[in-house]
Chain A
Amino acid sequence: MMDPRLNVINKRFQNVKKIIAVSGGKGGIGKSQTAASLALCLAKHNYRTGLLDLDFCGPSTHVILGVEGIYPEEEKGIVPPKFNGISFMSITYYTGNNPSPLRGSEISNAIIEILAITRWEDLDFLIIDMPPGTGDPVLDVIRLIKRVEFLLVTTPSRVAQEVLKRELKVLNELGITVIGILENMKTKKGSQVASELLNLGVPFLGSIDFDYDLEDALGSPAKLLQTDFAAQLDQIISQKCL
């Protein structure tokens, strides 16, 4: 018995130059905010950008960006619609606002389905918003998307950093490229993350201060781009990633 979908997945990314999975292990550290804002910043710099939300049990990039009223087109597969210049793909097109209570193997199957049927147009960057944890979705993305690179997010919390180290070990063991680590929600001077992660052999990209006004910008790409969060992220990626 053969699963034919596995043979077309890499072909679906043949027109995508760089694929970045935004991950970090722990929940609540700002992965989705980083992924969505990163996509917005890249699109602002006129890069052809896609955003794929693979957090099937807790999708949120559509809320962050304010995506509503668009739906993929069917053209020899499904073509993600554009939102604010970003080709946007999410399971929410099919689940609506309903919860999706999926077990691990079903998440895997749904990821394979989405990757096999989604036809990305020519892109400079595809940003993938990863769910928390180092379970099926991370392993599937590594297994199925051969050129994927990881951008890891953490916070000054030792709890988040300990989880990040575990994910980093898995990525290192599997030989996956890690672009670097981003410290989010910084509240004190200096960077605890930079010193803590010094010995891990992964570039420290920079820190983003805790942005108390970020919540007010949710749902509006224009407002999101004006936040301190986006400004700091933009500066970091412009210096270290582009």
Chain B
Amino acid sequence: MHEWALAEAVVETVLKEAGKENLKEIVRVKVMVGELQQIELDVFNFAMENILQQGGGALSMEKISLEVDKCVLRCKVCGEDWYYSDSLQDLSEEDSEAIHFVPEVAHVYVRCPRCGSPDFEITSGRGVWIDYIEGEK
């Protein structure tokens, strides 16, 4: 349940930022989940729900929306852009799980489909981040 640690980070960050901005009410929070990390959304939601029940203050589940960000990789050697989902078929379950824990490990297992280089950039869809927090003061 590694998703729990990330869910905890999201909840704590939203509450901290809302406190910093003196928000009386949190209206909407958008959380982006990068495809590369292959977060299990059910597990992530379950974790957030549990954490919020233990003390979510002004934040509740219905205010949080999750969106998966498609993962695009760009080769630094030949400039090729490709989707991580296209590389998935070449990965074993173990490789894929390792990337789930530490997304940068993709450089160990994924190669540019054109030139075979491990030197690529993760241009989108890496991890979990908060896109925005909307609230009322």
Contacts and interface: CB of A to CB of B under 8 A. Distances in A.
Interface in B99-137: 99, 101-105, 107-109, 118-119, 122, 126-131
B107 A117 contact: no
Contact residues on B (Cβ < 8 Å of other chain), bracket: 20 to 34
A101 to B, nearest CB: 5
A11 B13 CA distance: 13
Interface of B: 1-2, 4-6, 8-10, 12-14, 16-17, 47, 98-99, 101-105, 107-109, 118-119, 122, 126-131
Q: Interface residues of B: mostly helix, strand, loop or mixed?
A: helix
Interface stretch (A37-45, A90-98, A231-239): A90-98
Instruction: Indicate the member of A94, A96, A109 with the most B CB atoms within 10 Å.
Output: A94
A119 interface: yes
A4 B108 contact: no
Contacts of A113: 101-104, 127
Interface of A: 1-8, 11, 74-78, 91, 93-96, 98-103, 106-107, 109-110, 113-114, 116-117, 119
Contact of A5 (B6, B17, B109, B122): B6
A106 B129 contact: no
Given A76-B8, A101-B107, 8 more contacts: A8-B12, A76-B47, A91-B105, A93-B98, A106-B107, A109-B127, A116-B6, A116-B9
